[in-house]
Every structure is written in C-alpha cells, then in structure tokens.
Amino acid sequence: MVYKWALQIPNLSPELTRRAYLYLPACYDEQPDARFPVMYMFDGHNVFFDEDATYGQSWGMADYMDKTDTPLIIAAVECNPVGNNRLVEYCPFTCEDPNLGRIRGRGRATMEWFIRDFKPMIDANLRTLPDRANTLIAGSSMGGLMSLYAATAFNDVFGRAACLSPSLWLAPAKARRFIRQAEISPDTLIYMDYGGEEMANHASNLSALTTCSSALLQKGVSGDPTCVNAYEALKMATVGGAKAQGREAEIGQIGEGFDADLILIDTDSPVLRPVYDPVSTTAYSATGRDVCLTMVQGRILYENGCFTTIDVEQAIREVEEYAVPIVRG
C-alpha cells in the first residue's frame, strides 16, 4: 500500500508544497508486533506511480516490493522541480559546470531536514527499526550522488545506501574528498552501479566510479582512504576498467597489439606542481581539465583545448537539450 500526502521543507523552499510517499508492506498489518527497516528515497515522484513520474515511467517500487514480499518501509519525497532547484538541493557541494554554471549546492541542508524532521516523523508514527543498520537511503543520478553523500557524511544515521548512476561526473574530486574526510563504519553497505551503455559512452563515469569506490573500500576496511597506493589506483582505472568492459585484450594499457587509446596530462598546471611522482600526481591530483591530448585508436580527438572531430557549439546545444531536463528531474 502506498500513501501520498503533501508537505513543505521550510529550510529549503518554504513556499513550495511537494508530494511525499509512504509504502507499507502487506505484512505490516499482518504482524502488528513487528518493526521494520526503512529506506528513504530521493525523487519520490519517480518511485511508485507512472502518472507522477517526470518522464511517464516510474520505478514501480510498490509492485516490486509486493512481488518479492520484502518487509521494508519506503519513505520518499518529491524533488523541487522549479528551474535548477533539484540540482541545487541534491548537490552536496558548490561547484562549476560548463553547461549549468555555478552550482551552490544545498545537499547538506537537504540531509539535515531528512534527519531532523522527516526521519523522526516516520519513526514516531510507524513501527520502525530506527537504528543505522536498518536505515537505508537510495536514489539515482543526482539522488544517487546524495545517497553516497548521506551514507558517508551522515554514517551514524544511514548504514545502507543504493547509489544508482550517481552523478559523480559533476565534481569527482569533491566527491572523493568527502569520502576521504568521512568517518565510515566498516559494517556500512554501499551499492553503486551504472548501466552498460552509460558506462561505455562516458569514460568520466568509469574513472570517477573507480576512484570513489576504491576510496570507499579502503576507508571501510582500514579507515585510511589512501592505503590503495597511486599505482594500484591507476591500474584499477586502466587495466581494471578494461576488464570491467571485457576488453582487456584490446585496451587498458600501452603495448603492441593494443588500441592506441591514451591521454596526455599537462603537469605544468600550478595545481599539479611540484611533481614528485607522475603516477601519484595523476591518481590523486589530476582532473579532466588537466588533459591536453586525447587519442582513440591512434586518432587525436582533442588537443590543447581544441576538438578535432566535432562541432563543439552543436554538441553543447545537444547536451543541453538532452541532459538538462534529466538533471532537473
């Protein structure tokens, strides 16, 4: 059963009334003495009903939960659909995007509302298991990024997270930073994934996922996000990335018989100096902005700020037409 009601979030947008959704499993009424874990979800309008979903197709979570007979409560809240407000509310940091401009993220304020107002309301009115081991959070795209942020920055509240296609591309260095700064309990469970086409078409996703997941793994095992050394991190992003695509005989390293896929990094950038070790600089400090040449199968596609095979202005227009509505939800 899914219940729907209206609420406001005063510390984010007091003038906006948005929808909230609550799913109760069938066994909730059948087991009056039982208590249940709770999963909190972003973009609540996309979770249950096609008629509410941004693009007319929801996740169908209620049907799935009923079919699998999963004893779990789901509480979800609609995003702010006005302008770029979804992006702002679901971004945990301030950053710059070439298409969207400066984003002054209010992700922390969003999570503070979840923790201070929404979760206590759910726990007070339902038979929940309120401890961190039974408190989950989930979302996709910007909601996936926020789920990762919640599970790391507020690990004392959320012990489980599902981060589907998390928007790590937005500011991968800052995502790595909040992971490294977080105090994460070793029993934390975080699930992250991307679709096959999504991963294959956006190399930045693979790089960001590799570096963030390696930091998470080491953080959880040892408490030290740097114990994967730079050489291991670079191998994960290259050879490991090739294996993840099933193409380890074609790409992932420079050698005879392999595709000439490579990048050159400009280490003269002030943010990369001094260079004591090129591998450490690449793994821990370099970003996409430091790439000065990109070669794919021996063909130069980008060199010193110029793309050799595409009309940049047309590409920007197409990206804005396609991606901006998705980001806004």
pLDDT at 156: 95
- Residue 159, sorted as left (phi over 0), alpha (psi -120 to 50) or beta, turns out to be alpha
| Averaged pLDDT, 167-188 | 84
Q: Which residues contact 90 (CB under 8 A, 6 or more apart)?
A: 42, 79, 105, 107, 110, 139, 142, 143, 145, 146
Q: Concatenate the DSSP letters of all residues of 260-328 into one string.
A: --EEEE-TTSGGG-S-S-HHHHHHHT--GGGEEEEEETTEEEEETTEESSS-HHHHHHHHHHHHHHHHH
72 within 8 A of 25, measured Cβ to Cβ = yes
| Averaged pLDDT, 123-146 | 96
Q: Which residues pair with 307 in a beta bridge?
A: 302
Report the SS3 class of residue 83: coil
Q: 97-117, pLDDT tens digit by residue?
A: 777 788 899 999 999 999 999
Distance CA 319, CA 256 (A): 36
| Averaged pLDDT, 290-306 | 91
**pLDDT surpasses 90 at 327:** no
- Place 204 in a pLDDT band, splitting at 50, 70 and 90: low
Select from 281, 244, 282, 276 the least CA-distant residue to 263. Answer: 282
- Place 326 in a pLDDT band, splitting at 50, 70 and 90: low
Q: Which residues pair with 291 in a beta bridge?
A: 265
- What is the dotted CATH code of the domain comprising 253-329? 2.30.40.10
Domains 2-228 and 253-329 share a fold: no
**pLDDT surpasses 80 at 220:** no
Select from 131, 167, 104, 121 the least CA-distant residue to 7. Answer: 121
- Place 142 in a pLDDT band, splitting at 50, 70 and 90: very high
Does 2-228 carry CATH code 3.40.50.1820?
yes
Token pair, residue 217, equals: 């793994």
CB-count exposure of residue 296 (10 Å: 0-12, 13-18, 19+):
middle
Distance CA 295, CA 293 (A): 7
| Averaged pLDDT, 254-269 | 89
pLDDT at 157: 97
**pLDDT surpasses 90 at 6:** yes
Q: 60-94, pLDDT tens digit by residue?
A: 999 999 999 999 999 999 999 998 899 999 999 98
94 within 8 A of 103, measured Cβ to Cβ = yes
For 24, phi then psi, to 5°, come to: -115, 130
The domain ranges of the chain are 2-228, 253-329
Residue % of the chain over a pLDDT of 70:
93
- Place 202 in a pLDDT band, splitting at 50, 70 and 90: low
